[in-house]
Structure 1
Amino acid sequence: MDLKIRLALFASHFYFSISFPIQVNTEQSYEGVAFPESEEESVFSLILKSNKGSKTRLYEGDITPKRHRNAIVCPFNWCFWPKSSNGLVVIPYVISSSYTNEEKALIVGAIQEYETLTCIHFVDRTTETDYIYIEAGDSCWSYFGKVGGSQVVSVRKGGCMRKGIIQHELNHALGMLHEQNRNDRDKYVVISWQYISPGDFYHFKPTRANNLGLKYDYSSVMHYHRFAFSNTSGKATITPFHDSTVPIGQRFGLSNLDVAKINKLYKCVQCGKTLTAMNGKFESPLYPSHYPLLTDCAWIMIAPEGSKISLTILSFLLEDSFQCQHDCLVIYDRGTITARSEGKYCVNDIVPGFLSSGNSVLVQFHSDYFLQYFGFQAEYSFSKYEGSKERSVI
């Protein structure tokens, strides 16, 4: 056997034997695990509920131990999905035909958010050997990173059919870890071992991963919820270290730091963020100075259910081009690129005020390789609608 191959296999075996030691109790069982109603809507609590009684052997609640990988520190970058010469990470995928059209649309919507906010592009598989197969299994789970061949991401019908859960499992497939298992987690959270059964201790084992120089994210879609694996109803197993009232775990989807970690891990050149504050402003890069060339940014505004979003462009000056083929600003209702575009603007267009039809809006900014201008600044606010009357949610 070639020496390089032998060394690679040794390094891989050595790392995984350290990071994922053999556990005495690896049987899948959630008997005695408390699921308080106050946490029932967080991503991980829903995952644990859906996985209760699953026949699939899982680690940390939703990761299959077969072919364990950690893409952030995997030897020789074997666990990364490859990057194309155009700067995109193209991942072929197939959605099981057992899903309904509505369920498929939900999965596609969750996938498209990656394309909007990162350089990860999921494309329909044709003949590719390595691809993700999203199947309606008996639970919610994934592998770590790229493992090769037909790689299952299990999204159970019913309990797993949430955008946040789908993105949680896809993040594992991209190589993202559970946030509270970072190697520096004890600076940010307290683990209450007295409320965790000994057989579940291994779910909370810190990993030796590179944290990418980004701060701890209590709101990550990859964070366990406060009562994860608790064996005593009402007793938290995870408590924020400096402020016990800080919310942890959520159900909506990718946080801004989740997006930043993906972009840093895959060296994506992206800008923009998810906006969930009740009101705020955002602007083109470097505003009011000239924006950079070859830039793509996206801002997704997500209001509470039953709310609508008011968007106003405060200032605007982009490169002139026929039908805005070069630099442009595009607004999409309902927060996805598959939705109808509400307008494409450039030059010094007067952008009309916009009110969403639902609780999400997507704004995309693009600049090409030629001219630079001052860009734009925008403000938004969320409003609650009751019948025909509008009232602020602030």
Structure 2
Amino acid sequence: TSMSAKFRFGSILHPLCSGINDDTKFKTAETPSVLNNHKLKTRLYEGDITPKRHRNAIVCPFNWCFWPKSSNGLVIIPYLISSSYTREEKALIVGAIQEYETLTCIHFVDRTTETDYIYISPKDGCWSYFGKVGGSQVVSVHKGGCMRKGIIQHELNHALGMLHEQNRNDRDKYVVIAWQYISPGDFYHFKPTRANNLGLKYDYSSVMHYHRFAFSNTSGKATITPFPDSTVPIGQRVGLSNLDVAKINKLYECEIHSTLLSNLTGSFSSTIYRSSYPKNTNSVWLIRIPANKIFLQFNSLYIQSSSDCASNHILVYDGGSRRDTVFLNKLCRPKQLPAVVSSGNMMLVELVSDGTTLPKFKASYNSGKSPVSPNKI
């Protein structure tokens, strides 16, 4: 069923978008800039949501909460970045935005004359509205504690309709809330929401998850502890997780095959399909590690040759976007098994297939210049 025919909401979605009658729209403000947000005069819900009165009873009729999907399968979202940011700050914002284009069908494009668009501006704190609200829709990215890739993506996810992971309706199966370390006035930040979780598992590594000391009233005492393994990291702001990407793609019915690789060492292959690939299908693997350069080695490669490798081929980019420098252009010859080293902490591998044959390859990577043993594939 298409998105225009029925609602599909989840822990990623605010209850406002589930048809609950309410005369309030919400905007959000993000940790770790919670301290900055505490300075705001407006009372914040869930730590980064402040109510904004609007017209009478708001519901979410059909696709109101979502950005519309184009006939080509892409969700085009015009955006504008405030001129108040420096060149370096703008580059950070653009880098966070381009990751959506790489891994999902969400494409942020420069705003020209569009009425509805995202306006990224350094207001007080880090916050965003939930879903598409129309007009010039502010996403606040303060120049202080908000200028991190994961925080920018967190706020953009809110604008797409995503809510905090620890507020899922099934969260008590996965985390323990230490109410004794939360002031009564902050209890409402931890209230579970009634929502459909889109059939996807709880994601401790989500960029939408709070850190373990969020709103603690006692120094060194955690308010959120993973269960049953209390050592699992939560609250990362490096960037989107694999499940963050999966939720966006499921919510917006993106027909895209993408994988995010974030471990310091790993391997991947083209064994997504047991038979031939769907026609004109591109698959991408984004390697994104916290720091250091990436060494990539193709351990095996079989792609049927064609004129200029046009039908099936592999491209490797020095960065996280198709706009970055191409390392390997249209790789398809079985004898070619090159190794490449990135200039930064990201590398993008794209497999282009016309669907007539089954391209096969195995590759491995690590965060350095030493080869990865093929027996670990």
Scaled to the shorter chain, the TM-score interval is 0.7 to 0.9
The correspondence for 1:162, drawn from 148, 154, 170, is 148
Q: Deviations over 1:56-94 (max 9, x none)?
A: 5532222342279xxxx9442310111111111111111
**TM-score, scaled relative to structure 2:** 0.85
The correspondence for 1:137, drawn from 123, 146, 153, is 123
**Aligned residue in 1 for 2:6:** none
Query: Are residues 286 and 143 of structure 1, via their aligned partners in 2, closer, same or farther at CA, if it must alter by over 3 Å?
Result: same
SS in structure 2 opposite 1:97? coil
Matched, 1:190 2:176: yes
Q: Deviations over 1:3-36 (max 9, x none)?
A: xxxxxxxx98971449x899xxxxx9xxxxxxxx
**Aligned residue in 2 for 1:34:** none
**Aligned residue in 2 for 1:327:** 312
Matched, 1:46 2:19: no
CA deviation after TM superposition for structure 1 residue 314, in Å:
1.9
Q: In structure 2, what residue type is equivalent to 1:216?
A: Y
**Aligned residue in 2 for 1:31:** none
Q: Deviations over 1:212-256 (max 9, x none)?
A: 000000110000110111111111111112111111111211000
Q: Please provide the CA RMSD for this pair.
A: 2.8
Matched, 1:207 2:206: no
Matched, 1:317 2:308: no
**Aligned residue in 1 for 2:71:** 85
Counterparts of 1:71-110 in structure 2 under 5 Å? Answer: 74-110=60-96
Number of corresponding residues: 351
CA distance in structure 2 between the partners assigned to 1:191 and 1:355 by the alignment: 43
Counterparts of 1:300-315 in structure 2 under 5 Å? Answer: 300-305=286-291, 307-315=292-300
SS in structure 2 opposite 1:221? coil
CA deviation after TM superposition for structure 1 residue 47, in Å:
2.6
Q: In structure 2, what residue type is equivalent to 1:282?
A: F
Matched, 1:347 2:332: yes
SS in structure 1 opposite 2:235? coil
CA deviation after TM superposition for structure 1 residue 187, in Å:
0.9
CA distance in structure 1 between the partners assigned to 2:97 and 2:40 by the alignment: 25
Is there any run of 5+ residues in structure 1 with no aligned partner, and where? 1-10, 23-27, 29-42
Matched, 1:255 2:260: no
**Aligned residue in 2 for 1:33:** none
The correspondence for 2:345, drawn from 359, 363, 366, is 359
Query: Are residues 325 and 201 of structure 1, via their aligned partners in 2, closer, same or farther at CA, if it must alter by over 3 Å?
Result: same
Q: In structure 2, what residue type is equivalent to 1:77?
A: N
Query: Are residues 12 and 45 of structure 1, via their aligned partners in 2, closer, same or farther at CA, if it must alter by over 3 Å?
Result: closer
> Which structure has more strand as a fraction of its residues?
2
CA deviation after TM superposition for structure 1 residue 321, in Å:
4.6
CA deviation after TM superposition for structure 1 residue 157, in Å:
0.8
Q: In structure 1, what residue type is equivalent to 2:73?
A: G
Matched, 1:237 2:223: yes
Q: In structure 2, what residue type is equivalent to 1:92?
A: P
CA distance in structure 2 between the partners assigned to 1:341 and 1:86 by the alignment: 25
**Aligned residue in 1 for 2:20:** 15
Aligned residues of 2:353 and 2:359 also touching (Cα < 8 A): no
CA distance in structure 1 between the partners assigned to 2:148 and 2:18 by the alignment: 35
Equivalent pairs: percent with the same residue?
66
Q: In structure 1, what residue type is equivalent to 2:172?
A: D
Is there any run of 5+ residues in structure 2 with no aligned partner, and where? 1-15, 373-377
Q: Deviations over 1:319-340 (max 9, x none)?
A: 5455444433211113333321
Query: Are residues 196 and 318 of structure 1, via their aligned partners in 2, closer, same or farther at CA, if it must alter by over 3 Å?
Result: same
SS in structure 2 opposite 1:260? helix
Aligned residues of 2:297 and 2:340 also touching (Cα < 8 A): yes
The correspondence for 1:153, drawn from 124, 139, 151, is 139
Query: Are residues 304 and 231 of structure 1, via their aligned partners in 2, closer, same or farther at CA, if it must alter by over 3 Å?
Result: same
> Which structure has more helix as a fraction of its residues?
1
Matched, 1:219 2:213: no
CA distance in structure 1 between the partners assigned to 2:154 and 2:283 by the alignment: 23
CA deviation after TM superposition for structure 1 residue 364, in Å:
1.7
Q: Deviations over 1:131-166 (max 9, x none)?
A: 111011111000111111111000001211100000
Aligned residues of 1:226 and 1:239 also touching (Cα < 8 A): yes
Q: In structure 2, what residue type is equivalent to 1:341?
A: V
Query: Are residues 293 and 67 of structure 1, via their aligned partners in 2, closer, same or farther at CA, if it must alter by over 3 Å?
Result: farther
Matched, 1:382 2:367: yes
**TM-score, scaled relative to structure 1:** 0.82
Aligned residues of 1:130 and 1:151 also touching (Cα < 8 A): yes
Aligned residues of 1:302 and 1:361 also touching (Cα < 8 A): yes
CA distance in structure 2 between the partners assigned to 1:128 and 1:255 by the alignment: 30
Aligned residues of 2:314 and 2:332 also touching (Cα < 8 A): no
**Aligned residue in 2 for 1:372:** 357
CA deviation after TM superposition for structure 1 residue 291, in Å:
2.8
